[in-house]
Structure 1
Amino acid sequence: MLSFCGIHLLGRGRAVSSGSVIEVLGRLGVGEGATRSTLNRMVRRGLLERHQRGRKTYFGLTGHAEGVLADGRDRIWSTGVVNADWDGQWTLVGFSLPDSWRSERHDLRSRLIWAGFGPLQNGLWAAPGPVDVAQAVEGLGLESHLRVFRASVLPPTQVREVLEQAFDVPAIGGRYRGFLERWDRTDPPGPDGDALAQQLLLHTEWLELVRRDPHLPAEYLPADWPAARAESVFRGLSGRWQRSADLSAAKLDMVAPED
């Protein structure tokens, strides 16, 4: 659903009917009950808002969702997955939360992972490069519990040691190789001939890869690092299906929320 919103709603001032969402996700094997549950959950989380038109219900993006999706779009199309110009600087975040704050700790860690951080040790996380931590944790109400620094690695510590300690480098590479095994083939996944469904599958898997990739400096990664090849495959398939997917999406029941 987030992939659909990011591709076909973001920046377009449109809301899509629940029936159209059910129809599109149904092509991917998602049942009506699961789709309705997802829509309701996204409303509760402040990502979607309902618009009533007679007996029909439409769903449009909230301002919060626009920001989240715009960040994902920038990561995919602007930042990319290859960090070839790292300046050697790290952003460090130290925090200490009460043991009873399990939910707050989970939310903070999720935000830090999305922002490219990995745990160096208990309560100390690091990310290569500059990170706007205030923006990353906005809305959590935990600013007073955080300490943020910029730093560089000095001997006897080695950059590769930090990378291996804070990030599961083999697992990150393995996810890109799994993507290539799934998509770099003559018969990519998804309903054959259904460009919109294939587009949503592709973008959903790619966004999950990007979300879990801390953008590690390329010079410290193995020579056969598969991220660049995987990105090339993603962009090629996305371009191949875009026109047909757009035409299919244009036939869905959408309205301008202010109408």
Structure 2
Amino acid sequence: MAELRTPRSLIVTLYGAYGRPADGSPFAVAELIRLLHAVGVDAPSVRSCVSRLKRRGLLTAARAADGSAGYALSPDARQLLDDGDRRIYRRPAPRLADGWVLAVFSVPEAERSKRHLLRSRLARLGFGTAAPGVWIAPGELYEETRHTLERLALTPYVELFCGDHVGFAATRASVARWWDLDAVARLHHDFLELHEPVLREWEATSETEEGPRPQAAYRDYLLALDSWRRLPYADPGLPKELLPDDWPGGRSAQVFGKLHERLRDAGERFVRG
């Protein structure tokens, strides 16, 4: 399966993986071009995408340590990536006891652009549709949902509730209506098709005393992270009791976890080199 990768997505992935140093130092433009070239993005595409991300308020122009032009994350972009870390790297095992969060919204027809924004953001957070204007997600997504709605100034249109599902259909049958589980499972299978062979190759490769080869580790890790970081949003993170018995999510999470553990720090040596 060929996966559609975009320069913009890879730039965001690069900043998420390696662009948040404690001192807040930016990437020089020349470094961005070097690092994106290693994953197949040419210099004009890097410059074009960086300009668009700056216009959207995600990157800010700043001077790199050597005085050259560069770009750092804006505070909003850093908060967005910090919120995403919990899902991408540290997502806890979901529990039925955590309950559900409901988002009930009503947007006036004159502001339907906000209705579209609200629906798209709830979907990107992993919400399913329980009924028209009523969206549902596992309870552990409450804090991230609240942050997102506040950041986008959408709170006047939404009410949030936390609670349990008490009927009438069985919860396992209901979640199959609220989410397209077949589509989510295909995303997991696509990830495994692309990146499980990469993991097997690294596991079969003899490493030097210093660990994996930095440039190869960086390339394989960034591409895996670029694929993986969408999945914890498409997959709402349902308790296993509510999922099909052959659910592939656990296996894909394990593959990404092993690639992260094996390659992330080695890749940083290439980034800082």
Q: Normalising by the residue count of structure 1, what TM-score does the alignment of the two structures yield?
A: 0.86
Kept in 2, the 8 Å contact 1:93–1:125? The answer is yes
Further displaced range: 148-157 or 123-132: 148-157
Higher helix fraction: Structure 1 or Structure 2?
A: 2
- The equivalent residue for 2:229 is 207
Q: Alignment partner of 1:79: what SS?
A: coil
Matched AA of 1:236: K
Q: d(CA) in 2 for partners of 1:103 and 1:44? A: 20
Tell me how many residue pairs correspond in the alignment: 247
- The equivalent residue for 2:192 is 180
TM-aligned CA distance change 1:91 to 1:243, over 3 Å: closer
Matched AA of 2:29: S
Tell me the CA shift for residue 90 of structure 1: 1.6
Q: d(CA) in 2 for partners of 1:169 and 1:91? A: 19
Q: Alignment partner of 1:225: what SS?
A: coil
- The equivalent residue for 1:165 is 177
Of the three residues 29, 37, 45, the one matched with 1:18 is: 29
Q: d(CA) in 1 for partners of 2:168 and 2:223? A: 45
Kept in 1, the 8 Å contact 2:128–2:136? The answer is yes
1:129 paired to 2:139:
yes
Which string of whole-angstrom CA distances, capped at 9 and with x for unpartnered residues, describes residues 146-201 of structure 1?
Answer: 1222232223232123211211111111211111111111458xxx9622122111
Q: d(CA) in 2 for partners of 1:90 and 1:127? A: 6
Q: d(CA) in 2 for partners of 1:26 and 1:106? A: 35
- The equivalent residue for 2:120 is 110
Tell me the CA shift for residue 234 of structure 1: 0.9
- The equivalent residue for 1:249 is 271
Q: d(CA) in 1 for partners of 2:245 and 2:254? A: 17
Matched AA of 1:27: A
Q: Alignment partner of 1:14: what SS?
A: coil
TM-aligned CA distance change 1:161 to 1:40, over 3 Å: same
Matched AA of 2:247: W
Of the three residues 233, 237, 248, the one matched with 1:226 is: 248
Tell me the CA shift for residue 55 of structure 1: 7.6
Of the three residues 137, 141, 155, the one matched with 1:143 is: 155
Further displaced range: 92-101 or 194-203: 92-101
Higher relative contact order (CA 8 A, sep 6+): 1
Which string of whole-angstrom CA distances, capped at 9 and with x for unpartnered residues, describes residues 93-132 of structure 1?
Answer: 1112133434322321232123331112221101121413
Kept in 1, the 8 Å contact 2:215–2:270? The answer is no
Q: d(CA) in 2 for partners of 1:200 and 1:229? A: 19
Q: Alignment partner of 1:156: what SS?
A: coil
Which string of whole-angstrom CA distances, capped at 9 and with x for unpartnered residues, describes residues 46-90 of structure 1?
Answer: 22111146983111112112111111222122215x42x221622
Query: Structure 1 vs Structure 2: percent identity of aligned residues?
Result: 30
Kept in 1, the 8 Å contact 2:50–2:59? The answer is yes
The answer for unaligned runs of 5 or more in structure 1 is 252-259
Q: d(CA) in 2 for partners of 1:172 and 1:93? A: 21
- The equivalent residue for 1:195 is 217
Q: d(CA) in 1 for partners of 2:121 and 2:250? A: 25
Q: Alignment partner of 2:225: what SS?
A: helix
Matched AA of 1:136: T
Q: d(CA) in 1 for partners of 2:31 and 2:49? A: 14
Tell me the CA shift for residue 17 of structure 1: 0.8
Matched AA of 2:218: L
The answer for unaligned runs of 5 or more in structure 2 is 1-10, 203-213
Tell me the CA shift for residue 39 of structure 1: 0.9
Further displaced range: 236-245 or 67-76: 236-245
